[in-house]
Chains A and B, each alone.
Chain A
Amino acid sequence: MTTKNRPLSPHLQVYRWQITMVMSILHRATGIALALGSLVLVYWLASLASGPAAYADAQALLGSNLARVLLGCVSFAFFYHLSNGVRHLVWDTGRGFEISQLYRSGYLAVAASIVLTAGFWLLVL
């Protein structure tokens, strides 16, 4: 079959961005980010199991400015994937597929992830 160079659907160059498609892409992107972020969790646990000296090294590494920014991003990815994941679970019951409902639940999930991330860091720090 010679099916190369056929146009893709949807046409990505002219496709109008909507919150529904952006959130869908973000769900996958945050999922990949969280897969990498969970390796940090394991590194953190392994350093704790390796004793106080190894844990002090991990604390220094995870406490650096770059790591703080990355951990902030991972925490947002976590709360976004969690909020939008609940949206997916509701869809799995067959509910919420009207366009107006899709937009409302979408904005709600984005708002929830921002509030949860901000609340988490306010309480932790």
Chain B
Amino acid sequence: MSLKSPLGQVMGLGSARGGTGHWWSQRVSALALLFLGLWFAAELICLESLGYQSLTTFMSSPVNAVLLVLLVATLFFHSLLGIQVVIEDYVHHAGLKVVVLVLIKFAHVLAVALGVYSVLRVGFGA
């Protein structure tokens, strides 16, 4: 049970009942990815090699590991929001749409978990 009043629950949500939440999340994650993406591209340029030793040293730095975790998490969050809209646009069968949307969400959460765990494992020195 929600403690919000019925009016409070629908305020600003409009007839689509979703409000501007999806749109706003997409913009904020886009801005974050602008910085994180350019940071990652710059680091790839600055790394002396993409060898195992060079990368594990890079990721053992707390700042690099944390920024990589944020990059992976934000990347797949932004991707989920975008792919969700693509599916809603092109998959017209109501049942199939729900199934695909749930599968896409599972795939994104799996990818985030794998990516974050991998960065942390290297960062903590596996």
Query: Interface of A with B (CB < 8 Å)?
Result: 28, 31-32, 34-35, 38-39, 41-42, 45-46, 48-49, 51-52, 55-56, 59, 78, 82, 85-86, 88-89, 92, 120, 123-124
Contacts and interface: CB of A to CB of B under 8 A. Distances in A.
B121 interface: yes
A2 B37 CA distance: 47
A42 B114 contact: yes
B83 A35 contact: yes
A65 to B, nearest CB: 17
Contacts, number: 74
Q: What DSSP secondary structure best describes chain A's contact surface?
A: helix
Interface string B90-109: 00000000000000000000
B118 A45 contact: yes
Contact of A28 (B33, B56, B86, B119): B86
Nearest to B41: A120
Contacts of A88: 30
Interface of B: 27, 30-31, 33-34, 37-38, 41, 44-45, 50, 52, 55-56, 59, 68, 72, 75-76, 79, 82-83, 86, 111, 114-115, 117-119, 121-122, 126
A40 B52 CA distance: 17
Contacts of A89: 27, 30-31
B83 A39 contact: no
A88 B29 CA distance: 13
Nearest to B23: A92
Given A34-B79, A82-B34, A46 B114 contact: yes
12 contacts: A32-B82, A41-B72, A41-B75, A42-B72, A45-B118, A48-B55, A49-B117, A78-B37, A85-B30, A85-B34, A88-B30, A120-B44
Given A31-B83, A56-B52, A82-B37, 16 more contacts: A28-B86, A31-B82, A35-B82, A38-B76, A38-B79, A41-B75, A42-B115, A45-B115, A45-B118, A48-B52, A48-B56, A48-B122, A52-B52, A78-B37, A82-B33, A120-B44
A69 to B, nearest CB: 18
A45 B52 CA distance: 11
